[in-house]
Structure 1
Amino acid sequence: MHDPTRAVDPGPARPDTSDWTWVLVRPCPQCGYDSGHVLPIGVPQIVRDAATRYAAVLGRMDVAVRPGEGVWSPLEYACHVRDVCDVMRGRLERILAGDGTTPVELDNWDQDATAVEKQYWRADPGQVAVELQDAFEAAAAAFATPHRAQWSWSAVRSDGAMFTVETLAKYFVHDLVHHLWDVQG
């Protein structure tokens, strides 16, 4: 069993510098995700289903074991998706707080810096399970709120990538699905 008080820093994971926005126009060859099959109205249920699968992953005896050098453990991935839920919910709320006529600017989020700052490798799986459930439920509830016209409201990420509420939802779902594939969940 993982004892966070005895956890040794495994060093940083390999940074992910990919621009994953391409998953909005073609299927992911690794995890099989196809955004063309995701309806915005189904996003809350997809998020809730993913929460259940991540909870099961957090119950594994080897949850804190990295499968290879520079690759996050299932525990670290669970911490990451917990934070992804919060970031994406926050981005959605920013867009919906606008008037829909001007693209909202989205702040940058450095996921690798967050992992180091929060010491994902040292997290308590039981605590992460609680936080993950709360984050997933808050994200699911938020993505259930857009009205029909709001799905086309837009935003621009700090790197220039453009999103609508709909594409943000699909991009978010890929993150959850892909990391389940990463942890074989």
Structure 2
Amino acid sequence: MTTHPPAFKPVAGNTGLEQVLATVWACLREGAAPGRSPYSIAQLATVSTDGSAKVRYVVLRRVSEDVREITFHTDVRSSKIAEINANPDVALVAADLEKNLQIRLEGRAHVITDGRVKRTAWDASRDHSLVLFRNPLVPGTPIDSPSDGQPTNQTVTRDDGYENFCMVVMSVTSVDWLDLSPDGHERAILVRNGLDWHGSWVAP
């Protein structure tokens, strides 16, 4: 059973922390919805297979507050997949720089490489989002010029590249909310225990 520092209390019933948690999930849902949002693109951090830190941008594709999960799509051949398979502990940060809001998440990730869920996600994706999966080169392959890394213009079918497509699902275990708006800085940390949250206001 997860233990919390003494200052961490159940979020349920604490109006301020409940509002923070609701705002966090609303921002993430906005990021995964059609259209552009400050939260559409987030930075994912992993631990590489040699123990060093790695970070890159990912596009939020699905947010499921009821099960505390965030989903993004990527190439199964990419280094991040090997890193997640070796160490599923990940972190993600999203921000609205105009409003001075930052959301940091920690959790564990797992990779979906086949099955109905993957097929549904592929079929729902727009063609321009699937182009990179059709590239015969593994991401990170050395090339002589940028043009060598572009997919060829050969005729393709809808399912070309499907074998390279995968989904990464992050199960969120903690949230760090930071509001640096001019009218007063606020920060809260929330930690999940099962489907319940405990949290506390902390110094920004």
TM range (shorter): under 0.3
> 1 or 2, which has the higher strand percentage?
2
Which entry has the higher C-alpha Rg, 1 or 2? 2
Which structure exhibits the higher relative contact order, with contacts defined as CA atoms closer than 8 Å and separated by 6 or more residues? 1
The TM-score normalised by the length of structure 2 is: 0.23
> 1 or 2, which has the higher helix percentage?
1
